[in-house]
Homo-oligomer: A and B are copies of this chain.
Amino acid sequence: MEMDMNAQETKAGFFQRLKDFSSKLKDGVTKRIKNVQKFGKDDPRRIIHSMKVGVALTLVSLLYYVRPLYISFGVSGMWAILTVVVVFEFTVGGTLSKGLNRGFATLIAGALGVGAVHLARYFGHQGEPIILGILVFSLGAAATFSRFFPRIKQRYDYGALIFILTFSMVAVSGYRTDEILVMAYQRLFTILIGGTICILVSIFVCPVWAGEDLHKMIANNIKKLANYLEGFEGEYFPLSEKISKETNSCVREYKSILTSKGTEDTLANLARWEPGHGRFRLRHPWKKYLKIAGLVRQCAFHFEILNGYVLSNFKAPEEFKSKIQEPIATMSREAGEALKSIAKSIKTMSKDDTASVNAHIDNSKKAIKSLRIALKSSYPETEKDLLEIIPGVTMASILIEVVNCVEKISEAVEEFSSLAHFKENLDPNLSAEIGQHQLLHRGSVKPVLDGDHNEEEDNSSPHVLITIHDEHPPTTTGKNSLGAEKN
């Protein structure tokens, strides 16, 4: 009786566990599917790219399925499949770079391989493999060594690989077959077919341009810097009512810039392989993006140090804090606005915002002056006070360096905008004044994060003022203007 009960319980327990397991499995699978869906939705170009690879593969399979094609190429058709799989990259630049490298390397190495086989045949049946072995060893080693040179590695790494591959294969199989020329021709031709299909699908079906990605990335990175500066007051003076919870995640965005150099370099390198497209001409100054990116990263380094201060619960006497809060808030806000305008100008590829950028930078420089006055007025009364204000003073100095960084970014983008033929769509009334670099702007001081800034920028023109006495504003580039100038 008892054993029966036990057996029944065990059975019930087993079914229960089975049920649990199946529901867990179901949950797990649903969760995973949702993850995959989310991943695809985050960047739908990933799904499109996968489809494109599928299409190219299906197209190239026709070399086998269609009888007349199979008769002409035979099993060499597999080189076309192989080419599609290894050449098709996410960006047009990547596909072009690999395709061209593969094509030319196959051509050169194939010719050399055929030559090597003919040369080796002079040495008789005994000598042939020895000569071929020496040639394969030495050319293989030399080409491998060449791949270490940074210049070759950057642009022709894949070509060198394919060179070794093709040369070895042609030279070695030439020992066993007399139809080496037919083989080389078929291989070259099928690779051309595969490569051409890749390049055509890559360019004409929803292309992903490395250049455009780089362009957007730089603009976004500048936007991230702007977000940090906008959230700056809220981070440092959390008692202020202007803080909003939503900004906190934006504020940390700059961290990705600290280590984005690799991606930028790769994109710039691939962009140089791409033909002119959309707003980008053939000889678009891709290398200049890296210069801007370097300055942007420099700015992000400063944020990282500033951020260390926030994390360490920056404390200062309330009186001192309230004195420096206003100029510091203006400085960071105006520098942030300048960066926003720069990002917008890059994104739209227009010079419309130059005036606004200069105005915001001038405003933040004025705020530096107010900060100097505020600091002077908070002259410490005791030795103890001096030590207490030091973190605040340090923060202020670093922020001044940030303003210098922003100015450098603005200069670099201005230089770049001429090279990249940004369109000028200036209001004719303003253009003359801007030509003389005398445009200043006093935007109405609005609280941080009050919504749509495009509106603010558009409304800013009525506030423009022209100063005569300030033709050469002090150049603070590369110099900490807080202490370097003597009052």
| Partner-B contacts on A (CB < 8 A) | 39-40, 46-47, 49-51, 53-55, 57-58, 61, 64-65, 70, 75, 77-78, 81-82, 85-86, 129, 132-133, 136-138, 140-142, 144-145, 148-149, 161, 164-165, 168-169, 172-173, 175-176, 258-259, 261-262, 297-298, 301-302, 304-305, 308-309, 311-313, 315-316, 372, 375-377, 379-380, 383-384, 386-394, 397-398, 401, 478-480, 482-484, 486-487
Instruction: Find the B residue at minimum CB distance from A478.
Output: B312
Minimum distance in angstroms from A57 CB to a CB of chain B: 5
Q: Is the CB of B61 within 8 A of A132?
A: yes
Give the distance in Å from the alpha carbon of A307 to the alpha carbon of B6 in the complex.
77
In this complex, the member of A132, A140, A175, A397 whose beta carbon has the largest number of chain B beta carbons within 10 angstroms is A140
Q: How close is A51's CB to chain B, nearest CB, in angstroms?
A: 6
Q: Which residues of B contact A85 (CB under 8 A)?
A: 140, 161, 164-165, 168
Q: Are A61 and B172 in contact (CB under 8 A)?
A: yes
Contact for A483 among B75, B169, B387, CB less than 8 A:
B387
Contacting residues, chain B, for A54 (C-beta < 8 A) = 136-138, 140-141, 144
Measured between beta carbons, the chain B residues less than 8 angstroms from A315 are: 483-484
CA distance A54 to B258 in the complex (A): 40
Give chain B nearest CB distance to A125 CB in angstroms: 11
A23 CA / B353 CA spacing, docked (Å):
55
Nearest chain B CB to A198 CB, angstrom units: 13
Extra pairs beyond A61-B168, A308-B478, A390-B393 (9, CB < 8 Å): A61-B133, A64-B175, A85-B165, A86-B165, A391-B397, A391-B483, A393-B394, A393-B397, A394-B397
Can you sample 8 A-B contacts with CB below 8 Å? A50-B145, A51-B141, A58-B136, A81-B169, A85-B165, A261-B262, A305-B398, A312-B484
CB contacts (< 8 Å) of A379 on chain B: these are: 380, 383, 386
Q: Which residues of chain B are within 8 angstroms of A486 by Cβ–Cβ distance?
A: 384, 387-388
Task: Judge whether A129 and B484 touch: CB under 8 Å.
Answer: no
Going nearest first, the 4 A-B pairs with the smallest beta carbon separation are A54-B141, A262-B262, A394-B397, A54-B137
Q: Contact at B168–A81, with CB atoms within 8 Å?
A: yes
A391 near B141 (CB under 8 angstroms)?
A: no
Contact A141 B53 (CB under 8 A): yes
Contacts of A51 in B (CB 8 A): 141
Give the oligomeric copy count.
2
Docked complex Cα distance between A379 and B315 (Å): 20
- Is the beta-carbon distance between A386 and B397 smaller than 8 angstroms? no
Q: In the complex, which residues of chain B have a beta carbon less than 8 angstroms from the beta carbon of A301?
A: 258, 301, 304-305
Interfacial chain B residues near A383, Cβ < 8 Å: 376-377, 379
- Out of B137, B161, B304, B387, name the residue touching A86 (CB < 8 Å): B161
A467–chain B nearest beta-carbon distance, Å: 25
Say whether A129 contacts B298, CB under 8 Å: no
Measured between beta carbons, the chain B residues less than 8 angstroms from A53 are: 140-141, 144, 164
Interface centre among A372, A389, A390 (most CB of B within 10 A): A390
Q: Say whether, besides A81-B169, A133-B65, A393-B394, A145 and B40 are in contact (CB < 8 Å).
A: yes
Chain B residues contacting A386 (CB-CB under 8 Å) are 375-376, 379-380
Q: Is the beta-carbon distance between A173 and B78 smaller than 8 angstroms?
A: yes
A145 touches B387 (CB 8 A): no
A86 CA / B157 CA spacing, docked (Å): 12
Give min CB distance, A444 to chain B, whole Å: 30
Task: Please state if B168 and A57 are interface contacts (CB–CB under 8 Å).
Answer: yes
Residues of B within 8 A of A148 (CB): 39, 46
* A377 smallest CB distance to B (angstroms): 8
Determine the chain B residues whose CB is within 8 A of the CB of A172 once the complex forms: 61, 64-65, 77-78, 81
Q: Which residues of B contact A297 (CB under 8 A)?
A: 258
B49/A144 in contact, CB under 8 A: yes
CB-CB < 8 A to A376: which residues of B?
Answer: 383-384, 386-387
Report Cα–Cα, A49/B129, bound state, in Å: 23
How far apart sit A264 and B82, CA to CA, in the bound complex (Å)? Answer: 32
**CB of A271, distance to nearest CB on chain B (Å):** 19
**Residues of chain B lying within 8 A (CB to CB) of residue A305:** 301-302, 305, 398, 401
Given A78-B173, A165-B85, A261-B259, A387 and B482 touching (CB < 8 A)?
Answer: yes
A49 neighbours in B (Cβ, 8 Å)? 144
- Minimum CB–CB distance from A317 to chain B (whole Å) comes to 10
CB distance from A446 to the nearest CB of B (A): 30
